[in-house]
């Protein structure tokens, strides 16, 4: 589908049955930038709408053919999207790709959040004093001992994926269990708090 057709499909669907205001936001190129993202295993397509000047109003949707799924802060919609796509999770690589997409697309857009595979993924604000530099060095060292790359192992009728998420000033270990037909459940454990908020990842 062409981009203008995708925008119209999404906006029309969200006006009818989406969260209040999201359909009109999606329909207005002057208020939101539509950024098609990668296609997931199984064929579901992700689309990010970046709202400006109010970034917290941004949101993700998923597309399976002409069916629209509003994903932001709605993990159940992500599972429904996977089931509709008919994807079969048959390898650790597919499980990791879907787990990372789940975390990114269902997160709150009102706070800084993202998957990290190492301390080097995070850009912190530059320290202004030697004391701040020392504090930052200690933080980086602490994060480096905690964070690992995303990993997957067989679990029941699917896979368990462990990954790490920096959400605001909190580092979390998340374990997502993904069944072969796409159902996703998530366990979140905070492993470090009070970290400096990064400026980018």
Query: 28, 78, 51: which is closest to 183 by C-alpha?
Result: 78
At residue 155, φ and ψ (nearest 5 deg) are -150, 110
Distant-in-sequence, close-in-space partners of 154: CB < 8 Å, separation ≥ 6: 160
* pLDDT tens per residue across span 150-191: 999 999 899 999 999 999 999 999 999 999 988 999 999 999
**Contact in structure between 42 and 86 (CB atoms under 8 Å):** yes
Rounded to 10°, the helix 75-85/92-105 angle is 140
Label residue 200 by pLDDT band (50, 70, 90): low
pTM over 0.85: yes
Pull the structure tokens for residue 83. 């089931």
**Contact in structure between 62 and 81 (CB atoms under 8 Å):** yes
């Amino acid at each position: 589908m062409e981009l203008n057709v995708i925008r119209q499909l999404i906006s029309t669907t969200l006006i009818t049955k989406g969260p209040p205001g999201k359909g009109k936001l999606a329909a207005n190129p002057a208020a939101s930038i539509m950024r098609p993202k990668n296609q997931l295993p199984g064929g579901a397509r992700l689309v990010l709408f970046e709202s400006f000047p109010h970034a917290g109003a941004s949101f993700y949707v998923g597309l399976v053919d002409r069916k629209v799924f509003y994903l932001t802060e709605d993990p159940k919609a992500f599972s429904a999207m996977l089931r509709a796509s008919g994807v079969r999770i048959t390898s650790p690589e597919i499980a990791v790709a879907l787990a990372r997409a789940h975390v990114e697309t269902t997160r709150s857009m009102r706070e800084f959040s993202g998957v990290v595979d190492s301390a080097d993924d995070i850009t912190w604000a530059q320290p202004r004093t030697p004391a701040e530099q020392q504090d930052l060095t200690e933080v980086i060292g602490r994060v480096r001992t905690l964070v690992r790359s995303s990993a997957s192992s067989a679990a029941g009728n699917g896979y368990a994926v462990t990954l790490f998420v920096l959400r605001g000033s909190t580092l979390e270990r998340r374990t997502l269990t993904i069944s072969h037909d796409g159902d996703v459940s998530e366990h979140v454990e905070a492993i470090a708090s009070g970290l400096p908020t990064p400026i980018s990842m």
